[in-house]
Amino acid sequence: MSEPVPYPILNDDEPVRQFNELDVSLTYSYASYLNWLFPERVELIKGKIFKMSPAPSRVHQGISINLLNPIINFLKGKLCKVYAAPFDVRFPKESKADKDVFTVLQPDICVICDKSKLDARGCIGAPDLVIEILSPGNTKTELLHKYRVYEEFGVKEYWVVSQSDKSVLIYTLDEVGKFQPSKIFALSEKITSTVLPGFELALDDVFEDVD
């Protein structure tokens, strides 16, 4: 008797132009994802489709820029590179072949220090630092599904930025591969990063002029 196939066999070469043409109950690979031509933004988590917000809000964009600019300035002349969404990060389990990758996320901001993980289509493998900015409606996805992915694949540091509370919670990967949370950082405080030694960021600057 043949062994069961763990994922449905799909026609990865067939272009899909409308989101509603997809069967969200099925499991899809990155090979499928590459042929989706519809305008909606989606992510894959273990082959399941998660539809993203149509476009980040103005407040979300303002916070992202206020985070991104100081990181860009800090990394000038350094090995690590920073990228902002839309930027595909693939998380391979074993094989890096497109048909064998079932988790593809678009972090708001990510820092990659291993250049071998970068290619023309984004990043393959865990970034060193990931920043997600919570928006209304995406809190469950960010705190549960993405948390599990980032921990499982070894993201060294994961920042969760709350625009409603104007706060930041930092998860740091410990020696046994589990995230350990920081205290919640609020306005008037500064945060540092174990991934970026010497980097310091005032939260007042992160949330300045974004309301």
For the stretch 124-148, pLDDT in tens is: 999 999 999 998 767 777 778 999 9
Nearest Cα neighbor of 33 from 128, 122, 149, 93 is 122
- Which residue blocks in 76-209 are alpha helix, DSSP H? 139-140, 147-153, 203-206
| Superfamily of structural domain 58-206 | tt1808, chain A (3.90.1570.10)
For residues 118 and 101, the answer to whether their CB atoms sit within 8 Å is: no
Q: What is the distance of C-alpha 140 from the center of its chain? A: 14
Task: Encode pLDDT of 65-112 as tens digits.
Answer: 999 999 999 999 999 999 999 999 999 998 999 999 999 999 999 999
Distance CA 206, CA 167 (A): 9
Q: Output the pLDDT for position 1.
A: 42
Question: Domain residues of the chain, as ranges?
Answer: 58-206
pLDDT at 55: 65
Q: How many helices (H) and strands (E) does the chain have?
A: 5, 14
The rounded percent of the chain whose pLDDT value lies above 90 is: 76
**pLDDT at position 3, please?**
40
pTM of the prediction? 0.90
